[in-house]
């Protein structure tokens, strides 16, 4: 009997064969049809019960639509062109490259043994100029202690470990407090902002902006109905984001804290420009046009409820922009091989040391040596050396052992990050790099933190 029921369930399924999954589609078709709505375009016109013909949507052929309802569908299709939001400004966080050759496609640029050997010599000279070891600052915020115990081990536990340390560093820098607008760049499912909210007092004001260029599945946005702060998700590429025009920032005047976990490649550079070049720094004192002194973020809840706020808003229309300042940033770096010279913020730093676009492209390629799994076999066992099996001939010709290649990859990453630190320092920030988690948790374990330099009026 159970077998018949299971067989009956199988007959109810869509008849479309999903080739890359090697099985039939699991969706249930309508009565009298063999295919579900997603694959209804495969239904023959003569099928019983299928009186209307379905065609692929012209905006996105991944789904289908009834031919006689096409015009109605085009008005509400999720793939239709939509009006650009007010905070969209094309390429505001990048700049045109003045080099004859750009490095948009780092992976396709040819690498020769002689060139790489010369670059390694430059890396070693460059590394001598950098300060000593990156300090370790592996912290654990109290709000994640219990979730870590419940997570056990595995990917979820590793993500919580990283989030716990990021929150610990936010607290260490006095940024984990109410009265801020936390902007999570590359938010994805929004877990980092979620834990920041959980760490804040439930009865205090805060705001959260989740920035991502795509729609993520299984978001945790639904868990934010209770607790501190308001959440807003902006679907936009950071490259085109003008924070000054986001309503909650330009009207409310929240001090901005930039956060991010594993912000890939050029996305980090976009975020740094977005914060450091669009908004002013939050100094210890801000003087209004009327001479009233505005306190720092920790006192803003009390102060904005008083008369001072009303005076400022009435006498100075530009107060919203003065209030929306950068209080700091904490970003976990990732995927340096996906950086592009056109978008990179540390070009001045590189040029001052005789390095240009081509050197940058090769550095990005070599940076992957730090995380590409040298010394680990496909089953995760140690001691496997892929030299001789690689498709890149120069890697075997250089005759470098595993530890040397990993060290060179780490030096490349550090050089790229040093340019970012220099960029922030030239714009009034005290920027530092920190090791925020153990390499066994994540090989991408460097955290970029920055606070405005203290200015006393």
Q: Where in the chain is the domain with CATH 3.40.50.150?
A: 116-283+325-452
Structure tokens at 360: 């940058």
pLDDT at position 379, please? Answer: 45
* Neighbour count for residue 259 (Cβ, 10 Å): 26
Cα separation, 1 vs 303, in Å, equals 72
Cα separation, 68 vs 65, in Å, equals 9
Angle at 110 between CA 107 and CA 112, to 5 degrees: 130
- Of 136, 170, 187, the closest CA to residue 450 belongs to 170
Cα separation, 270 vs 268, in Å, equals 5
The alpha-carbon radius of gyration of the chain (Å, integer) is 26
- Beta strand 64-66 pairing with 181-185: unpaired
pLDDT at position 376, please? Answer: 53
pLDDT at position 125, please? Answer: 82
Q: Which residues pair with 319 in a beta bridge?
A: none
CA dihedral 218, 221, 224, 230 (to 10 degrees): 170
According to CATH, what is the number of the domain 116-283+325-452? 3.40.50.150
* Neighbour count for residue 454 (Cβ, 10 Å): 9
**DSSP secondary structure letter of residue 130:** S
**DSSP secondary structure letter of residue 416:** H
In contact, 409 and 400? CB cutoff 8 Å: no
Cα separation, 417 vs 447, in Å, equals 10
* Neighbour count for residue 38 (Cβ, 10 Å): 15
**Which tens digit of pLDDT belongs to each residue from 429-445?**
999 999 999 999 999 99
In contact, 433 and 421? CB cutoff 8 Å: yes
Three-state SS string over 7-42 comes to HHHHHHCCCCEECCCCEECCCCCCCCCCCCHHHHHH
Counting beta carbons within 10 angstroms of the beta carbon of residue 23, is it exposed (0 to 12), middle (13 to 18) or buried (19 or more)?
exposed
CA 119 to chain centre: 29
pLDDT at position 335, please? Answer: 92
What sign results for the dihedral spanned by CA atoms 390, 394, 397, 402? negative
Strand, coil or helix: 56: strand
Strand, coil or helix: 327: strand
pTM (two decimals): 0.76
In contact, 185 and 266? CB cutoff 8 Å: no
Q: Which stretches of the chain score pLDDT less than 70? A: 1-11, 44-51, 97-111, 131, 225-228, 281-324, 373-398, 455-457
Angstrom distances, CA of residue 403 to CA of 12, 139, 242, 407: 56, 28, 43, 6
In contact, 270 and 243? CB cutoff 8 Å: no
pLDDT at position 316, please? Answer: 29
Cα separation, 49 vs 57, in Å, equals 22
pLDDT at position 321, please? Answer: 39
> What is the CB-side half-sphere exposure of residue 195 using CA atoms within 13 A?
28
Phi, psi (5° rounding) for residue 356? -125, -160
In contact, 344 and 269? CB cutoff 8 Å: yes
CA dihedral 378, 381, 387, 393 (to 10 degrees): 30
Cα separation, 194 vs 233, in Å, equals 12
pLDDT at position 45, please? Answer: 59
Cα separation, 181 vs 255, in Å, equals 6
In contact, 187 and 193? CB cutoff 8 Å: yes
Structure tokens at 91: 């390429």
Angstrom distances, CA of residue 431 to CA of 278, 331, 351: 18, 11, 20
Cα separation, 297 vs 275, in Å, equals 17
> What is the CB-side half-sphere exposure of residue 452 using CA atoms within 13 A?
24
Structure tokens at 395: 């890697």
Q: Which residues pair with 207 in a beta bridge?
A: 181, 230
In contact, 258 and 275? CB cutoff 8 Å: yes
């Amino acid at each position: 009997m159970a077998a018949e029921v299971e067989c009956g369930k199988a007959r109810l399924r869509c008849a479309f064969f999903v080739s890359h999954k090697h099985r039939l589609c699991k969706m249930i078709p309508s009565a009298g049809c063999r295919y579900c709505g997603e694959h209804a375009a495969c239904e023959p016109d003569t099928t019983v019960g299928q009186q209307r013909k379905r065609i692929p949507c012209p905006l996105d052929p991944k789904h289908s639509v009834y031919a006689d309802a096409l015009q109605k569908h085009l008005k509400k299709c999720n793939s239709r062109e939509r009006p650009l939001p007010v905070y969209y400004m094309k390429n505001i966080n990048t700049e045109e490259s003045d080099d004859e050759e750009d490095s948009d496609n780092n992976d396709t640029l040819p690498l020769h043994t002689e060139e790489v050997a010369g670059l390694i010599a430059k890396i070693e000279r460059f590394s001598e100029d950098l300060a000593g070891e990156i300090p370790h600052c592996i912290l654990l915020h109290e709000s994640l202690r219990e979730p870590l115990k419940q997570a056990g081990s595995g990917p979820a536990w590793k993500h919580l470990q990283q989030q716990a340390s990021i929150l610990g560093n936010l607290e260490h820098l006095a940024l984990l407090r109410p009265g801020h607008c936390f902007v999570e760049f590359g938010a994805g499912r929004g877990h980092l902002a979620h834990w920041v909210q959980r760490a804040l007092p439930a009865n205090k004001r805060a705001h959260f902006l989740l920035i991502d260029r795509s729609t993520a599945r299984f978001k945790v946005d639904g868990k934010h109905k209770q607790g501190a702060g308001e959440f807003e998700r902006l679907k936009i590429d950071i490259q085109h984001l003008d924070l000054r025009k986001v309503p909650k920032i330009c009207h409310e005047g929240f001090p901005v804290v930039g956060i991010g976990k594993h912000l890939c490649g050029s996305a980090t550079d976009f975020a740094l420009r977005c914060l450091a070049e669009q908004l002013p720094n939050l100094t210890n004192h801000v003087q209004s046009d009327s001479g009233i002194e505005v306190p720092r973020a920790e006192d803003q809840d009390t102060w904005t409820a008083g008369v001072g706020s009303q005076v400022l808003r009435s006498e100075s229309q530009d107060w919203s922009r003065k209030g929306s300042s950068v209080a700091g940033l904490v970003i976990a770096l990732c995927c340096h091989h996906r950086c592009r010279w056109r978008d990179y913020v540390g070009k001045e730093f590189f040029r001052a040391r005789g390095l240009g676009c081509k050197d940058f492209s090769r550095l990005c390629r070599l940076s992957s040596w730090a995380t590409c799994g040298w010394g680990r076999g496909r089953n995760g066992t140690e001691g496997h050396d892929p030299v001789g099996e690689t498709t890149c001939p120069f890697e075997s010709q250089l005759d470098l052992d595993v530890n040397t290649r990993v060290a060179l990859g780490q030096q490349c990453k550090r050089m790229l990050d040093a340019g970012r630190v220099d960029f922030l320092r030239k714009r009034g920030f005290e920027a530092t790099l920190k090791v925020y988690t153990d390499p066994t948790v994540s090989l991408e374990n460097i955290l970029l933190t920055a606070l405005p330099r203290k200015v006393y009026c």
